[in-house]
Amino acid sequence: MDALDSINRMLEAAIADAAKDSPPRLAEALRYAVFPGGARLRPKLCMSVGWACGAQDLKLLAGAGAAIELLHCASLVHDDLPCFDDADTRRGKIALHRVFGDQIGVLAGDSLIVMAFDVLAVASQSEPGRLAPLTRIVSRAGGAAGGIAAGQAWECEPQIDTSRYHCAKTGSLFSAATMAGAAAAGVPYEPWRRVGLMIGEAYQVADDICDAVGDAEQLGKPVGRDAALARPSACQELGLEGAIARLKYLVQQAIDAVPDCPRRVELTAQIRKEASRFLPEHIARLAA
């Protein structure tokens, strides 16, 4: 079974489990928030690292990936709320709160955060000693201490610390993905932080590029939001060419940071391949 399939099954099981005792509209909203997914970059990265580290317990590894994806989905739902981005569309469909209302928007996000930790607890049955480190990795990535909540909250400060902002908003979930992959495999996870941070920063730069020069229909989400909301953007800072050079540099940094592990060569090839898809073809062509 391939990684994407394992992750989707784990997400499916978690959502079906919640739906058993959930008000119908909330249950429907949870499914809407998680399926169909985006690229599932973070859980796929988590599984690739676990695999490269020789993970045996694939249920735990998929659980770790699914937990990170659930936090990501929660953050998208909350980010789209009227008090934040007030977005109309997400992943090529109508934004969740526009379909289900703001109340269900808040509650769906809350439920997905809770579900992330529930999934970890269920998946760690045969390796109970790995639950605490995995929980800590995932909670750091989601919370106020440098996690995605912190990332959003930097936007509410009169002065943004740009580096901490990006690190929290995007880097946190990518570094959680690499660290959780290693932790699920039972190997030291701290050395994997930098790999995720670099990939996250590369992804953020790619996202800035898409927002600046992309096409809303092809991306499945609105563009030009960074300029409209006066958010920091790599494209504005470095120009299009500079931003693309930065993206390439960061991917190389990520690859250089990969620690020794049983399948290092395969993993670095995979990172390079996945990163080459960060920019949709029509934008990559602009840069060629």
Binding of a copy of itself by 135 (CB under 8 A): yes
Q: For a copy of itself, give the closer residue by CB, 76 or 251.
A: 76
To a copy of itself, the closest distance from the beta carbon of 123 in angstroms equals 10
The one among 4, 86, 98, 146 contacting a copy of itself by CB under 8 A: 146
* 8 Å CB contact between 87 and 211: no
The one among 39, 94, 132, 229 contacting a copy of itself by CB under 8 A: 132
150-155 contacts, C-beta under 8 A, 24 or more apart? 152/75, 152/78, 152/79, 152/84, 155/231
Distance CA 62, CA 67 (A): 8
Binding of a copy of itself by 106 (CB under 8 A): yes
Binding of a copy of itself by 101 (CB under 8 A): yes
Q: How far apart are the first and last CA of the chain?
A: 36
Binding of a copy of itself by 136 (CB under 8 A): yes
The one among 125, 162, 163, 276 contacting a copy of itself by CB under 8 A: 125
Distance CA 145, CA 39 (A): 26
Distance CA 42, CA 145 (A): 20
Q: For a copy of itself, give the closer residue by CB, 4 or 13.
A: 13
How many residues interact with a copy of itself (rule CB under 8 A)?
A: 65
The one among 12, 86, 155, 226 contacting a copy of itself by CB under 8 A: 155
Binding of a copy of itself by 110 (CB under 8 A): yes
To a copy of itself, the closest distance from the beta carbon of 145 in angstroms equals 4
For 89, residues 6+ apart whose C-beta sits below 8 A from its C-beta are 95, 216, 220, 221, 222
Q: Three-state SS for 214?
A: coil
Q: For a copy of itself, give the closer residue by CB, 25 or 264.
A: 25
The one among 64, 76, 107, 202 contacting a copy of itself by CB under 8 A: 107
Stretch that binds a copy of itself, among 142-150, 178-186, 213-221, 272-280 (CB under 8 A): 142-150
Start-end of H helices in the chain: 3-19, 24-34, 41-52, 58-79, 96-100, 102-123, 131-142, 148-154, 162-166, 172-185, 193-213, 216-219, 225-228, 234-257, 264-275, 281-287
Stretch that binds a copy of itself, among 126-134, 180-188, 189-197, 271-279 (CB under 8 A): 126-134
To a copy of itself, the closest distance from the beta carbon of 216 in angstroms equals 24
Residue 259 DSSP label: P
Which is it for strands 89-90 and 93-94: parallel, antiparallel or unpaired? antiparallel
Where b means 16+ CB within 10 Å and e means fewer, 133-144 reads bbbebbbbbbbe
The one among 26, 58, 240, 284 contacting a copy of itself by CB under 8 A: 26
The one among 12, 25, 89, 249 contacting a copy of itself by CB under 8 A: 25
Instruction: Give the Å distances, CA to CA, from 175 to 32, 272, 283.
Output: 26, 17, 26
Site residues (vs a copy of itself, CB under 8 A): 17-27, 30, 74, 78, 81, 83-84, 100-111, 113-115, 117-118, 120-122, 124-125, 128-129, 131-133, 135-136, 138-140, 142-147, 149-150, 152-157, 164, 168
